[in-house]
Structure 1
Amino acid sequence: MANRMTPPAEGQEKDVLLVLDKQQGKVSAVKGIDKEGNLQTVPPTHGGEFMQVDKNSDVFSNFISNFYRKYQDTSGLELFSVKASEAERDAKAIEDNHRNPTPEGNKRAEMLRVPKPDFHEFKQGYRFDPSKIDWENLKKVGITADTLKNTKDFDRVMRGYKSRNTYTVSGTVGGFYLKPTDVKLSFYQAKDGTVVPKLHGVQQDEKLLQRPFHEHGFTKQEQGNLQGTGNLGGIAEIKDPKSGEQIPVFVSRDRYTHELEYMRADKWKCPDTICNVQVSPEQKAAFEAGQAVKMENLQFRDGTKRSAYLQVSAVERGLEFLPRAAVQFLQQGQQPAEQQVAGLKDGKGVEFNGHVQPGAQGKSPDKVQPKDVTPAAESRTQVAVNSGGKTNEATKQGKEPLKQGQDKPTAKQKEKQEKAQDKSLKADKPKKSRGMKM
């Protein structure tokens, strides 16, 4: 059976594809694709059997890419996109112009011709084939190929990296509603060969570094390094999830999502030069040991020469230039990286104490973003209730915000809650009829 697309809604005419066989001089309409992936065609007079498409959709782009990938030699074929109501007329015009070309006919054919996709980028190092990605499904949560191209993340994710930018996603997927949240995006190849998107949300688990990572327990020094620079600062031995063997890895922490990622250290090779500066044997050894290295007089594209700290990052899958906060951490040697700050305010304007991450250090408490703060132990309940709207058995009836360090209602608040609850019960209780007075 042919793989046919959904007919257009009433009043919304879509396009059909015509294919010209140059050798036979014949134009047919595309009906669909069979189970073997072969193109099925019908005469352009069989309007009810046309495969109809929206030429501006990702589905159309995917079909065209797949067509040209399967038929490697398409020199004898040409595709045209025309309106369904004009398919028979355009097919005849294309056939006639193929036999007896005219300037007007060539101009009309060129307007309708579907250009062959440029696969140059894919051949130059893409890990994933863009045509194999279900863009229509990804569009349901708010991400499109154009979104990634506009932020210059498209090439990056196609090469197998996580996006540098974050994207706000929301919508209904698989019967579940995804509330608006900021994520990073990456792709991976499933066992069946399909390319699947992966959304990386922000992790607020403050004990993440205290637990074993693939059976490797982080030392206090390593925990501080991961918080301060985003990188372990050395080589860790972890258990390979696939083979079960112990392997040496670089470990890094995404500075936004806080996810931990690893990359095999024995598979990475240090480049000989960085920004036109020769890497010395000592610097190579330091890089390969996971250490941060200061490189002098690096030559940048704008013509300037600057010094910078670099380090291997498992998130970036190679060397990265360390951001200012990470460099400050290295220079100061402070442990831990998160700084305790008082005077922060929750969603109800009540002050609390919390730990501020390196990127937000130095800001005044009123300008620190919630994502940069981990509430102190004594303030967790307060922030959860006042900022997140969370409740527990002690706070579910309370209407007043919790005060600083408060984790349950005061005696006075509890008395008010009980009175409010009793009043609510009395209001719901039906009044007894006293009968009619004579």
Structure 2
Amino acid sequence: MEQKKKDQDVLIVRDEQTGEIGVVAGLKSDGTPNLRPAKAEHAQDFLRFDRHGDVLDNFFANFFRQCKEPNRFGFYRVAVEGMENVVAVMKDLLKDPVGFRDVLAPHKVDTTKYEQAAAQQVQETPPEPEKEEKQQDEKYQPIDETQVDSEAFERLWGVKVEDLRQAGCWERMLGHGKSPLVTCYPEIGGIRFPVEARLSLRENPDGTVSLVPHPLHREPNLKSYKNIEFTDEDRKSLKKTGNLGRVAEVLDKNTGELVPSYISIDRQTNETIAVPVSVLRIPDEVKGVKLDKEQQEALAAGKGVYLEGMTSKSGKPFNATIQINADKQGLDFHFGGHRQAQRNGQQNGQTPDDGRKVYIGKTLLGLPILDEMRQGWAQNKWVLMEGLTDKKGRTFNAYVRPNHEKGKYDFRRTIADKSQIYEINPAHASETQVAINSDGKTNEATKHVGEPLKKGQTAPADTKQQEQQEQGENRRQHTRKRSGMKM
């Protein structure tokens, strides 16, 4: 390890515009260098270059291709060993780079060839007629099975391709997915040991395909991933949903780029997985529900989006929170207790105080949620809602109020304390309907109809209801006669 460290360098960069000096820790999304102080606690973030490798060439190729002002930065190469002392001296020298030109010359990186190569590539590259969507599809074509060395798989890992095919997971692996947990038998010191792992395929630069095992971990790493240090909020999200809940810039060690990525935990192996944002498409529709612009933007940002009225394969409607999952390279569906925690950030500007706060959407049980209702709930008051639909398709009326402590709506037929009701000036006819349908009260003109009133109804609506009302009234009079009651 010490010998390898002696053969590695890092890049010191000076921003000629701001005077900032630091160690390169990759590239930002705009192509500018990502800087870190030259201190031991940041050592794992530094981009390191083997003196006989091509990582430096890759870094500068990407830098000149992405950075709009490349000449704004000056690069200096120093050895990893003793770096802190060297950088301390170089900081003083770089305060006057012209005056100390000769002293800095041995460390100065001549980037002329990289700049010329980038300019030539721009001139020679014709405009691409295909849409970005098509490019992404082409980039992720299924793996060519003819390049798979089945004998090598069995020799190195004790896994037979035919067994994977019969288990129904081979096609998924060819499509850049992973198998379920299987037992493979790698050979270590001439002895084969059973290892529980998920398997995937990797395409190598020479065109061959390798088998990649993803061993079972005892527990997930909730501290960090590559250059990303997880925050308390990140850890909370990973524990609850298995997803980071945001987009993170993950360092590509081969190119030095910071790649915007989604991060998730493989629930079967506890392995941390990242996938670039650029390779996943945000859908316009999920399970029959159209996504609006805000929902698509929230989904693209890694957040959970609560959807109502989706349709399962069996044709049954369901509600759930959807979220990008890096391991699946697709969508997660969260139900039950997870739902409330993943509604955060979608509350029309409201910031939740805890993960169980009720998300007030556009509708509730089939009824639109009006601005007046939101105003009442903001005051923690009950709001009358007429025509709600229960799970069996029956309509009902109720006073409603979000219960943020329990993460759900509360429903009441009556409210004893009228000061707790937020009035939206309902018509008198509607009040009559609520009293009869929900409060159990009666109306002389309709008390024998025997079914819920329509909105605004204070009298029998048709001949059938009129007959029901008359029959009921006759029975009432007959009963009173038999009991000797006066009418």
Q: Does TM, scored on the shorter chain, surpass 0.5? A: no
Q: TM-score, normalised by structure 2?
A: 0.39
Name the larger-Rg structure: 2
Q: TM-score, normalised by structure 1?
A: 0.43
